[in-house]
Structure 1
Amino acid sequence: MKTVILIPARYASTRYLGKPLVALDQPDGTRKTLIEMTWDVARQVNGVDAVFVATDDDRIADAARAFGADVIMTAEACENGTARCADALTRAGIEADLIVNLQGDAPLTPAWFLEDLIAAMQDDPSAQVATPVLQCDAQTYAMFVEDRQAGRVGGTTAVFNTKGHALYFSKEVIPYIDPGKVPDTDIPVFHHVGVYAYRPAALAQYTTFPEGTLETREGLEQLRFLENGMTVACVIVDAKGRVFWELNNPEDKPRIEKALRDMT
């Protein structure tokens, strides 16, 4: 199965302008941009045939080429990462059996998250789209609640049925848990990891659908698949004791830098 990783990156993030070029302190005293850290993750994934940064911004393209990345320039009009991946695939004429979208705001994503996702798609030929979910530990759940209480979006949560098929994704913390009844372990909240695997046909079909009401309200591109009756498989992954968090807001930068130090 030929597999390609695309890293969609845009400069004009509404929550964090220029986010892909934000530099984070590394445990060894150096600094790396978010886009380079994401590239490093992608290059560690086994069983991948090629990795590309997909962007419409020359600043991001120049930075990516400087650290050795292959870049595909896309249209400015791409409204989200999935649409940018579809545009990149068409413009570059890439032929692949599986396209993985590794969004460039999650430098703590372990390579095995992507490997588990690819394996799940290989094991289930009927799956059109798949995305990883991670059960929240007490620390992550507390950060979700803290962000929402402060009026920030800290991440996305997912709920799915007994077959592992997504029911909904939200920037709210779902399902609701009574604050007085939060368990110490096995918290029933799943953090959506910003990675997707698509069959080429599903990715192409996505671009034919209009933006839906739920997608518009939540600002979550994956809801377009659900609103149009497509199945999105949620693949439960194991963090193996590592903290996972995305860079969504400036407040997340010290959280991620601390997590990087704790990994050493």
Structure 2
Amino acid sequence: MSAVIFIPARYASSRYPGKPLVELTGVNGEKKTLIQRAWEAAQGVSRIDRVYVLTDDDRIAEAATGFGADVLMTSSEARNGTERCAEGLAQLDTDPDVVVNLQGDAPLTPHWFVEALVSAMDGEVQMATPVLKCDRATLSNFVTDRREGRVGGTTAVMRSDHSALYFSKEVLPYVGDLSTPPEVWHHVGVYAYTPHALRAYAQWPEGPLERAEGLEQLRFLENGTPITCVPVEARGRVFWELNNPVDVARIEEVLSKEGIA
């Protein structure tokens, strides 16, 4: 099975402008941009043929080529990473079997999350994404962010067969008491698509749920395309995305703890 990783990155983030070029300090004191750390995480994934950074911004493109990444320039009209991946797919000479969208703000994504995702694309699955059962610390971060008015990570609700019911930036199901919380699944910001599903997505208009939540994957559900959730295990690693400036310290703490340069 052939697979490529696309890392979509845009400068004009509404919540955090310039986020891909924010510097994060590793355990040895070295500063690397967020986009470089995401690219390095992608390099550690096995059974991947190529990794590309997708952007419409010359500053990001220059930074990415500077640390050795292959870059595909995409249009400023792309409204989200999945649309940007569809534009990237159109620039490849041949279709891979699987396209992986590794979010540029998720440098802590372990390689086994992505490997499990690619393995789930068995020919029947059109689109898949990993989910991680929240531990107490992550759930506390979720609840704290919402109580303080920040939009943090995303939660997933799924059926017993792991097909997705819904994704939200709210904490679902409702957490009233952190001492006895319900089972909450953290949606990991990685997607795998077949080329057919990715091209179909680009033809659909933005739906009301996607617009309300600001979650691109909801367009698949709104148009009747199932999403397979792939449960993954942290194996002692902490996963968190860089959504807000407060997350810089959270991620740098993990880089130090995990010994990541």
TM over 0.5: yes
Q: How far is the alpha carbon of 1:155 from its aligned partner?
A: 0.4
After superposition, the C-alpha distances for 1:66-110 in whole angstroms (9 at most, x for unaligned) are 000000000110000000000111134342110000010011111
After superposition, the C-alpha distances for 1:87-134 in whole angstroms (9 at most, x for unaligned) are 11113434211000001001111111100101111xx32110000000
CA distance in 2, matches of 1:128, 1:88: 18
Q: How far is the alpha carbon of 1:182 from its aligned partner?
A: 2.2
Match in the other structure for 1:65: 65
Match in the other structure for 1:15: 15
TM-score, normalised to structure 2, is 0.97
Match in the other structure for 2:174: 176
Change (3 A) 1:180 1:203: closer
TM-score, normalised to structure 1, is 0.96
Change (3 A) 1:63 1:29: same
Question: What residue identity is the alignment partner of 1:168?
Answer: Y
User: Is this contact kept in 2: 1:74–1:91, CA < 8 A?
Assistant: no
After superposition, the C-alpha distances for 1:123-157 in whole angstroms (9 at most, x for unaligned) are x3211000000000000000000000000011000
CA distance in 1, matches of 2:67, 2:254: 23
Map 1:2-41 to 2 at 5 A: 2-41=2-41
Residue 45 (structure 1) aligned with residue 45 (structure 2) = yes
Name the Cα RMSD after superposition: 1.0
Paired residue secondary structure (1:256): helix
- The number of equivalent residue pairs is 259
Match in the other structure for 2:164: 166
Paired residue secondary structure (2:115): helix
After superposition, the C-alpha distances for 1:198-235 in whole angstroms (9 at most, x for unaligned) are 00000000011110000000000000000001010000
CA distance in 1, matches of 2:253, 2:172: 26
Match in the other structure for 2:146: 148
Q: How far is the alpha carbon of 1:180 from its aligned partner?
A: 6.3
Change (3 A) 1:178 1:53: same
Unmatched segments (≥5 aa) in structure 2: none
State the identity %.
59
User: Is this contact kept in 2: 1:157–1:174, CA < 8 A?
Assistant: yes
Match in the other structure for 1:76: 76
User: Is this contact kept in 1: 2:201–2:219, CA < 8 A?
Assistant: yes
Match in the other structure for 1:120: 120
User: Is this contact kept in 1: 2:140–2:178, CA < 8 A?
Assistant: no
Question: What residue identity is the alignment partner of 1:104?
Answer: G
Question: What residue identity is the alignment partner of 1:39?
Answer: W
Paired residue secondary structure (1:91): coil
Match in the other structure for 1:224: 219
Paired residue secondary structure (1:207): helix
Q: 1:238 aligns with which of 224, 233, 237?
A: 233
Question: What residue identity is the alignment partner of 2:45?
Answer: V
User: Is this contact kept in 2: 1:100–1:196, CA < 8 A?
Assistant: yes
